[in-house]
Structure 1
Amino acid sequence: MSRFTKYNRYNAPQESLPHLDKAQELHGFLPNLLGYMAESPSLLGSYLFLSEQVNHTDLTQTERQVVLMTVNRFHECRYCMAGHSQFSEAHGVDMEVIDAIRDDRPLSNPKFVVLRNFTLKLVEARGVVSQALVSDFFNAGYSRRNALEVIALIALKTMSNYTNHLVGTDLDGFAMNQRWVPVNER
């Protein structure tokens, strides 16, 4: 049983209320993750701010989802993998991309292969990567700005993935049909 409280508009800390109102307006409901994050107004506010900022990168929607879902998969975050699978599908990301990341299969788009590998190596090595990896990233057509944007996306997912693991967040209803289980548990 979780020792953490999932808050709502009626019982959340006062400092979290503006953030919860913003989340409700943005999503049309209060995602379970954000209800738990409300315990810490600084975490909730930081997460919502960074969520907004990463939507303004030079990376395409599909590229952002490749990064986000790669981090979700690495961290084995069931909540975020299900939510991003549903979100990606609803926003026109090719199901081949979604399924390849979910199932740890190769991607067919060479540029996405490089992006996924770059992201995964950054996470695995905690940012200490080879110049060959960075060169591969640039040679695929990505920029220095994109490299730094990948770091912002990794930071966003680290906040949500770690929170979900710590508190045991249940899936939101909209993501139930995208339930995900790590390959090693199938």
Structure 2
Amino acid sequence: MSRLAVPEDVPAESRQILEGVGAQLGFVPAMFTLIASNPAVLEVVATLQGKLSRVLDARTRHSIALSVSEANGCDYCLAMHTHVSSEFGGMSDEDIALSRAGGSVDPKRAAAARFAHRLVDSRGRVSDDDLADVRAAGYTDSQILAIVAVSVQALLTNFINNVNQTGIDIPA
């Protein structure tokens, strides 16, 4: 059950974004309906997601989001990212499970997911060895910044949903 107020009437400033989310996913997740109560926050989340959809490949972004959501214990985001990774990202059940644990069937993606998990565990204070490992997997410093940014995007929605205790409304 939501702990924050979900708007009965969505503010006009939020409607276009919600329509876009609905068109993209085929439904409007409860998280977005909640965030719509604050149009500025909804715009920030949507803009961040849109901009970061251009960094790294989709499966790597999904692996990072799954790893971060697992590290934060965000059941809502795990359900959402599992759905999106499977339905739109073409990821196997095995790869999704590995990503949640900070791994992947792909060694390079595994390094990104592991690094993202370390980011959360260390509150961003990763070790020199953590950086060396992700670089050894083939990531440039620019791409490491992208991993951090995608991780923060996942953290943002994890925190919103963990505070709210958003009920899972993701299609099975």
Q: What are the ranges of 5 or more consecutive residues in structure 2 without an aligned counterpart?
A: none
Q: Which TM-score applies when normalising by structure 1?
A: 0.82
Equivalent residue, structure 1, for 2:39: 41
What secondary structure does 1:148 align onto?
Answer: helix
Give the C-alpha shift of residue 171 in structure 1. Answer: 1.4
Superposed displacement of residue 128, structure 1: 1.8
- Alignment counterpart, residue 95 of structure 1, candidates 93, 96, 100: 93
Q: Paired residue for 1:152?
A: 149
Aligned to 1:19: 17
Q: Is the 8 A contact 2:72 2:120 kept in 1?
A: no
- The answer to whether 1:122 aligns with 2:146 is no
Q: How does 1:32-71 map to 2 (within 5 A)?
A: 32-57=30-55, 59-71=56-68
Q: Which sections of structure 1, spanning at least 5 residues, go unmatched?
A: 178-186
- Identity over aligned residues, as a percent? 27
The structure-2 alpha-carbon separation of the partners of 1:72 and 1:3, relative to structure 1 and needing over 3 Å to count, comes to: closer
Q: What amino acid maps onto 2:99 in structure 1?
A: I
Please list the CA deviations of residues 145-175 of structure 1 after superposition, one character each: whole Å capped at 9, or x if unmatched: 211111221121112111111112111241x
Counterpart code for 1:155:
V
CA distance in structure 1 between the partners assigned to 2:163 and 2:22 by the alignment: 23
For residue 17 of structure 1, give the secondary structure of its aligned residue in structure 2: helix
Deviates more, 1:151-160 or 1:107-116: 107-116
Deviations along 1:90-126, whole A, 9 cap, x unmatched? 2211322112234x38645332332222111112222
Residue 6, structure 1, aligned to residue 6, structure 2: yes
Q: How large is the RMSD of aligned CA atoms in angstroms?
A: 2.0
Q: Give the 4+ runs in structure 1 shifted more than 3 A.
A: 104-109
Q: How many residues align structurally?
A: 171
Mapping 1:128-143, distance limit 5 Å: 128-143=125-140
TM-score by length of 2: 0.88
Give the structure with higher Rg (CA).
1
Amino acid at match of 1:121: R
Amino acid in the other structure paired with 1:17: R
CA distance in 2, matches of 1:109, 1:129: 22
Q: Is the 8 A contact 1:61 1:93 kept in 2?
A: no
